[in-house]
Amino acid sequence: MRPLRYSINVTLDGCCHHEAGLPPDEESMRHWTAEMERADALLFGRVTYEMMEAAWRKPATGVWPDWMSEWEIPFAEAIHGAKKYVVSTTLASVDWNAELLQGDLAQTVGQLKQESGHGLWVGGVTLPLALADLGLIDEYEFLVQPVLAGHGPTLLAGLRERIPLELVDRREFRSGAVALRYRNSSASLTSESGPEAAELVRQPIGYWAGEAHRRIGDALRTAISGESLSQPQWWMLNHLDSTDGMAEGELLSRLEPFNAQESNRDLAADLADLRERGLIDGPPGGLLLTDAGGEALQKARETMGGAHRSMTAGVTDDEYVTAIRVLKQIVENLGRQ
């Protein structure tokens, strides 16, 4: 099984905008080159894929542009030649050695992880949030920049549940940046997991992830139905709750990975409905959560919290041996409700 790794630059106050940290230097580019080279394939959402392609796709001439420093070329070669998967509900096709992923996110990524190899790498902001919520990220690496940005977007804002991490590596850079690598301690599958884990792994993780995700999705929709919210509307309110204003276009683009599981809903109509009900306000360039929207969000969170405690009843810390074991327990708990 291939582990899924998530790496990103982040400032000391949690901002993960790609321009918020220090400019790349020779040392940091060597680090990112190594990240590309040790991955069997890269996973991107549409926004990150298009941004990376614009910056790092090799020109048709086969020659890198003159503005590119010599120490940037190894990274450019690595990312240009890497196998890529793109999660999008709006793109009809992709190239640049890429394959389009559509359909159920948990199942498609779970199946990729089941293949043999060294590992998968995911970058960006929105897609990793969706994958983290599904419990599919095995390793997190944060290149912490010695900068205070004072603004968002904030790393993994809107994450549904707390994820326990175990520090496995730390590296300091001359610039003052620090690379911190963590293992998801609730999703580690090791040779010491014991015979019970070996028995559980007979069922593909994609199966358990997909089944648990479907059941949890049903529970979420039930929880938010009391506030007359669709699942995309729930995520819209969550995103706005973590910002001091977000452009309408950015909010809709962030919902693409979630919308893939909602049969391509009309997100603009969902957004307009929230505005008409007074749950959000503000101009298209700076949408805000209203007091009424905050109350609806809090009520839905409380309801969902109760549902989650019921789903995970009986799962102790010692039972977090593997992600498969946890997902199986959730499915069994839901089956008894």
pLDDT at site 215 = 63
Helix (H), strand (E) at residue 100:
strand 98-101
Rg (C-alpha) for the chain, rounded Å, is 20
Tell me which of 159-168, 266-275, 317-326 is least confident.
317-326
Domains of the chain, residue spans? 4-184, 194-329
Identify which of 234, 208, 214 has the alpha carbon closest to the alpha carbon of residue 303: 234
Three-state secondary structure call for residue 8: strand
pLDDT at site 318 = 47
pLDDT at site 246 = 87
Residue 202 binned pLDDT confidence (cut-offs 50, 70, 90) = very low
Q: Just give the CATH number of 194-329.
A: 1.10.10.10
What are the angstrom distances between the C-alpha of 200 and each of 29, 205, 206?
40, 9, 12
Residue 188 binned pLDDT confidence (cut-offs 50, 70, 90) = very low
Tokens representing residue 165 in the block: 């991490």
Residue 68 or residue 234, greater confidence: 68
The answer, yes or no, to whether residue 322 has pLDDT greater than 60, is no
Residue 79 binned pLDDT confidence (cut-offs 50, 70, 90) = very high
Compute the distance between CA of residue 76 and CA of residue 245 in angstroms, rounded to an integer.
34
pLDDT at site 28 = 92
Residue 220 binned pLDDT confidence (cut-offs 50, 70, 90) = low
pTM: 0.58
Q: Which residues contact 44 (CB under 8 A, 6 or more apart)?
A: 52, 84, 85, 86, 87, 98, 122, 123, 124, 127
Q: Just give the CATH number of 4-184.
A: 3.40.430.10
